[in-house]
Amino acid sequence: MAVYEKGIETKRRFILSMYNKLRERDASTITVREIAKENNCSPAALYKHFESLEYLIVLGSIRFFIDYMIEYGQLMDNDDNLMDAYIQGWMLYNKYAFDRPDLFYRLFWGEYNTLFADALMEYYELFPVTGSERYPAYYYTLLFSDNVIERDFLILRRAANYNLLSDEDAEYFSKTNTLIVKGMLEMYMGRDLRERRQGEQECNQLLLKNLEKVYVLEKHRPEGEEG
């Protein structure tokens, strides 16, 4: 049992070390040697715990996504208006995604996507997450969905069940809103923080404009625009 617990703690330490590196640097600049040196072990020891450096990078990247999901769980519990929560959910996603578009793009659409589901499951086992207390089953269904379009459709289908929009609209918005965010993240990858924040605001406005024919709350409408 002691050996097992030691292995778990070693994994956690490696993941947090990778996360801290990713906070300051692009994943492409991080090497096995420096992660091993920082944790006072050999590169071979790292490979005893993780199948590849890329897999460890994905685990470290998931920490950025998990912080978003924790806030999203709080949003689900505090907002009973499904469409309002949907809009705020995308804005919350963009807040995190445009902070690190390189990581979010790679996790959901790029080269890390094939590793995402397995890595997320392992991450959750190592660092259990407290999400929605009111809708735990629904929350964890969303958490472990690595397909953004399918995840978005699950959210919109709940709104459709309450006649807030049609099934056809739910399918349309789950695709178009996801593609808006994907395209904008790709466009702003590699830009400085000020430009990325501008991209976040532009992306939010595009999402609102896309939803306008169905639902836009007054508090989300830009100043100076009338309904």
The tokens describing 165, both together, are 């929009």
Q: List pLDDT tens digits, range 85-96.
A: 999 999 999 999
Q: List pLDDT tens digits, range 14-40.
A: 999 999 999 999 999 999 999 999 988
Alpha helices (H) along the chain = 2-24, 32-38, 43-49, 53-78, 82-97, 101-108, 113-126, 136-143, 148-161, 167-188, 193-211
Residue 57 has pLDDT above 90, yes or no: yes
Sketch out the chain's domains with CATH numbers: 2-220 (1.10.357.10)
> Where is average pLDDT lowest: 77-81, 87-91, 108-112?
77-81
Q: How far apart are the first and last CA of the chain?
A: 63
Q: What is the pTM of this model?
A: 0.87
Those residues whose C-beta lies under 8 Å from the C-beta of residue 167, and which sit 6 or more positions away, are 157, 160
The pLDDT of residue 3: 44
Instruction: Tell me the Ramachandran region of residue 199: left when phi exceeds 0, alpha when psi lies from -120 to 50, beta otherwise.
Output: alpha
Q: What is the mean pLDDT of the chain?
A: 89
pLDDT-based confidence at residue 217 (cuts at 50, 70, 90): low
The pLDDT of residue 52: 94
> Between vectors from CA 24 to CA 19 and to CA 29, what angle results, nearest 5°?
85
Residue 227 has pLDDT above 50, yes or no: no
pLDDT-based confidence at residue 216 (cuts at 50, 70, 90): low
Share of the chain above pLDDT 90, in %: 70
Mind giving me the DSSP string for 109-172?
TSTTHHHHHHHHHHHHHHS-----SSSHHHHHHHHT---HHHHHHHHHHHHHHTTSS-HHHHHH
The pLDDT of residue 98: 97
Share of the chain above pLDDT 70, in %: 93
Nearest C-alpha neighbor of 90 from the set 214, 195, 197, 205: 205
